[in-house]
């Protein structure tokens, strides 16, 4: 996507450029298709389950039970997993591998729900609010798209919590990492910048909810916002060209690994032309 002759970037596209400018060129300049993976599909299923979880109708007192909420979350996961059954089968993974990813995802959501339940219980027991009120207080705004024409960047924020006078912007991660990497920090810095531009006030915190384990947050300050601005200036300056020679190949472990390879490996190392690659993907 481009506005005013410049490409609209995203945290993903920026990190792709940092990983390998040639990969960025193929994906965002040539707009060649990318493949899917178990991690992308599983991530989408989990995100959708969490998004819809908060649409629970608690108007009936029979639903004022943590077992109801837990069952709802697991039911949503099963629904979206089955809805993606054809895509999952197309990956060529052995049935036991798919079962392992499915079971890992169930455990991941159980861990997330345990933390959510503890927060609800704290509000119900220590603040004296009702079950539906506690749920409503903890319900975030979800899957909101932000687009900045000034900085030419866009992002989709998983969850925005406005709680006890504080604004916390969160991104869900299904990865094994339990710490904020430089790539994640850049993503969060961009989200903070986007939020401030739209709302005229910066969020108090941005963070990653590592669904398997823990939530990690960063305080939003001038330094974090300046990091986002600097990185955006750099990426726009580095990607103004349409020529492949301006996007050098950066070989590394992410070119090819034991169980797979980069979507564009054959273009870089197999002598395949861009035209031939397009034909293969039709």
Residue with tokens 């608690």: 58
Q: For the domain that residue 17 is a member of, what is the CATH number? A: 3.40.1350
In a domain, 217, yes or no: yes
Cα-Cα-Cα-Cα dihedral of 97, 99, 101, 104, to 10°?
-130
Secondary structure of 217-273 as H, E, C letters: EEECCHHHHHHHHHHHHHHHHHCCCCCHHHCCCCCCCCCEECCEECCCHHHHHCCCC
Q: Residue 110: what pLDDT?
A: 97
The per-residue pLDDT for range 197-251, each reduced to its tens digit, is 999 999 999 999 999 989 999 999 999 999 999 999 999 999 999 999 999 999 9
Q: Residue 175: what pLDDT?
A: 84
| Same-domain status, 218 and 150 | yes
Note whether 22 and 268 are within 8 A (CB). Answer: yes
Q: Distance between CA atoms of 25 and 29, rounded to whole angstroms?
A: 5
| Same-domain status, 57 and 187 | no
Average pLDDT over residues 255-282: 90
| Same-domain status, 81 and 218 | no
| Same-domain status, 154 and 20 | yes
In a domain, 55, yes or no: yes
pLDDT band of residue 5 (cuts 50, 70, 90) is low
Q: Distance between CA atoms of 154 and 131, rounded to whole angstroms?
A: 36
pLDDT band of residue 2 (cuts 50, 70, 90) is low
Would you state the structure tokens that stand for residue 93, as one six-digit string? 């993974």
In a domain, 246, yes or no: no
The per-residue pLDDT for range 46-74, each reduced to its tens digit, is 999 999 999 999 999 999 999 999 999 99
Number of domains observed in the structure of the chain: 3
Buried b (16+ CB within 10 A) or exposed e, 213-247: eebbbbebeeebbebbeebbeebbeebeeeeeeeb
Burial of 135 (0-12, 13-18, 19+ CB in 10 A): buried
Q: Residue 1: what pLDDT?
A: 57
Considering 115, 138, 161, which residue would you say is the last residue of a domain?
Answer: 138
| Same-domain status, 150 and 134 | no
| Same-domain status, 91 and 161 | no
| Same-domain status, 148 and 16 | yes
Residue with tokens 């490409």: 7
Q: Residue 127: what pLDDT?
A: 87
| Same-domain status, 231 and 150 | yes
Q: Is the pLDDT of residue 7 over 80?
A: yes
| Same-domain status, 210 and 81 | no
Which comes out higher in pLDDT, residue 252 or 280? 252
In a domain, 66, yes or no: yes
In a domain, 243, yes or no: no
CB count within 10 Å of CB 35 equals: 12
The per-residue pLDDT for range 165-208, each reduced to its tens digit, is 999 999 999 987 788 999 999 999 999 999 999 999 999 999 99
In a domain, 154, yes or no: yes
Average pLDDT over residues 125-136: 93
Considering 138, 158, 178, which residue would you say is the last residue of a domain?
Answer: 138
| Same-domain status, 45 and 100 | yes
Angle at 186 between CA 184 and CA 192, to 5 degrees: 105
| Same-domain status, 202 and 125 | no
The per-residue pLDDT for range 141-168, each reduced to its tens digit, is 999 999 999 999 999 999 999 988 999 9
Q: Whose CA is closest to 262, among 35, 30, 17?
A: 35
Angle at 112 between CA 156 and CA 188, to 5 degrees: 30
Average pLDDT over residues 37-50: 96
Range(s) of the domain holding residue 57: 38-138
Residue with tokens 């993606």: 84
| Same-domain status, 7 and 51 | no
Burial of 249 (0-12, 13-18, 19+ CB in 10 A): middle
């Amino acid at each position: 996507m481009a506005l005013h002759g410049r490409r609209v970037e995203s945290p993903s596209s920026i990190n792709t450029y940092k990983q390998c400018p040639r990969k960025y060129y193929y994906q965002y300049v040539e707009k060649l298709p990318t493949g899917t993976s178990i991690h992308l599909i599983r991530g989408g299923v989990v995100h959708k389950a969490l998004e819809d979880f908060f649409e629970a109708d608690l108007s009936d007192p029979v639903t004022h039970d943590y077992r109801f909420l837990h069952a709802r979350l697991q039911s949503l996961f099963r629904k979206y997993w089955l809805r993606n059954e054809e895509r999952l089968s197309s990956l060529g993974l052995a049935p036991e591998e798919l079962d392992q990813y499915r079971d890992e995802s169930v455990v991941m959501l159980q861990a997330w729900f345990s933390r959510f339940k503890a927060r609800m219980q704290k509000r119900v027991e220590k603040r004296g609010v009702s079950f539906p009120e506690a749920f409503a207080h903890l319900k975030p705004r979800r899957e909101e798209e932000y687009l900045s024409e000034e900085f030419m960047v866009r992002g989709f924020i998983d969850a925005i919590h406005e709680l006890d006078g504080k604004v916390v912007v969160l991104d869900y991660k299904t990865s094994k990492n339990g710490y904020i990497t430089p790539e994640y920090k850049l993503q969060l810095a961009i989200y903070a910048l986007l939020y401030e531009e739209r709302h005229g006030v910066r969020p108090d915190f941005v963070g990653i909810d590592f669904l398997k384990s823990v939530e990690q947050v960063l305080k939003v300050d001038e330094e974090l916002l300046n990091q986002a601005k600097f990185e955006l200036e750099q990426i726009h300056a580095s990607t103004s060209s349409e020529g492949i020679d301006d996007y050098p190949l950066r070989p590394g472990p992410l070119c090819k690994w034991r169980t797979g390879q980069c979507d564009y490996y054959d273009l870089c190392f197999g002598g395949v032309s861009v035209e031939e690659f397009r034909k293969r993907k039709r």
